[in-house]
Amino acid sequence: MMNTMTTDELTIAIAVPLEAEFVGLIRAVDPAITVLYDPDLLPPERFPADHAGDPDFERTPEQEERYWAMLNRAQVLYGFPNESPAGLARIAGSNPHLQWIHAMAAGAGGAVKASGLDTETLQKFRVTTSAGVHALPLAEFSTFGILNGFKRSAEMAQDQAAKFWPELRTPTKLVNGSKLVITGLGEIGMETARIARALGMRVSGTKRNVEEIDGLENVTGNDGLPGLLADADAVVNTLPGTPYTEKLFNRDIFSAMQRGTVFVNVGRGTVVDEEALLEALDNGQVSYACLDVFAVEPLPQDSPLWSHPRVLVSPHTSALSSAENRLIAERFCSNLRTFLAGGELPHLVDPVHFY
């Protein structure tokens, strides 16, 4: 349990681009807190929720000094400095009274790991993620991927481009009554399950801490995944990239799927062996793949995934929505109230395993 923080000693610094109206939401949590915000020191957003901002933005030496002086005054940061692992590493060394950083990403563990900070240093302050903020857009995208696969949108697009009207009509797959397996029944997975069930799908999935979940047919650990896949019509991966999930979807797992399975990945690209996925696509085990994440990003130009006729490539943007900055600010405000009350912050990054 954290000690209760008195508001007259709490300073929050906004380290990433954020609209003034959402800074106002943070200030309104408690009038006694100090919120440091200087938009002149932050790069302009190129699109909604552009947390890194314009890469061509450069601070003058005087602005750079002011930016770091502002961050070093705060006990709490909204965003990683410069939205980068290097910025996190620098602030960890320069701000001795840092207590908490709220990250913009749901999967901020990768950036924390990339900072190179040791476990002892990382245990001096907390890092929370924006997990959950992206659950609905990711769940909607996952549903879009399932529907694309079941309704043969890739084939129809090819026929349309060729102005080809087939003589024999090919039926599409019915979503209602089909079986979906979700790897990772966290907030994204559960939101995906909610929408899938509304469409009449039967849903099972995997969870690190196995437990019965109301409305789901079967919940297992990852070791039970082959059994779940044997009669699944679609699979959605939401798992983060960790040493325990790396290439979880390998040749053996794809071989465990029934022919024609639709595969969607909104977790992390490292969870999938892409060579094995391509083999599964080519041999018909996987009928369609809707991919928002890849082992290497941006996806290399020579990747066969770009041109595969039954693959949709999304440039890791499916979590984005015009409401993101508001949703993250609201999540931060909720966390801030918990922090001020001395409660346990949700969605903490594990300083050892980085998830």
Q: CA dihedral in degrees (256, 305, 354, 326; nearest 10)?
A: -120
Please report the DSSP string for 142-156 in residue order: HHHHHHHHHTTHHHH
- Verify cis geometry, omega within 30 degrees of 0, for the bond prior to 48: no
Residue 321 amino acid letter: S
Q: Could you give the 3-state DSSP secondary structure of residue 326? A: helix
Sign, CA torsion 248/251/254/255: negative
Tell me the pLDDT tens digit for each residue of 65-81. Answer: 999 999 999 999 999 99
Show the DSSP H helices in the chain as ranges.
Answer: 20-27, 61-72, 85-94, 109-114, 119-122, 135-150, 153-161, 187-198, 225-229, 251-256, 274-282, 324-340
Q: How would you write the pLDDT of the chain (355 residues) with one tens digit per residue?
A: 444 445 568 999 999 999 999 999 999 999 999 999 999 999 999 998 999 999 999 999 999 999 999 999 999 999 999 999 999 999 999 999 999 999 999 889 999 999 999 999 999 999 999 988 999 999 999 999 999 999 999 999 999 999 999 999 999 999 999 999 999 999 999 999 999 999 999 999 999 999 999 999 999 999 999 999 999 999 999 998 989 999 999 999 999 999 999 999 999 999 999 999 999 999 999 999 999 999 999 999 999 999 999 999 999 999 988 899 999 999 999 999 999 999 999 999 999 888 7
The tokens 């059994």 sit on which residue?
Answer: 227
pLDDT of residue 1: 41
Q: What is the Cα–Cα distance from 149 to 156, expressed in whole angstroms? A: 11
Q: Could you give the 3-state DSSP secondary structure of residue 35? A: strand
Residues β-bridged to residue 102: 78, 128
Which residue numbers are catalytic?
268, 297, 316
pLDDT of residue 32: 94
Please report how the helices 85-94 and 61-72 are oriented relative to each other, as an axis angle in degrees rounded to 10. 60
This prediction has a pTM of 0.80
pLDDT of residue 6: 52
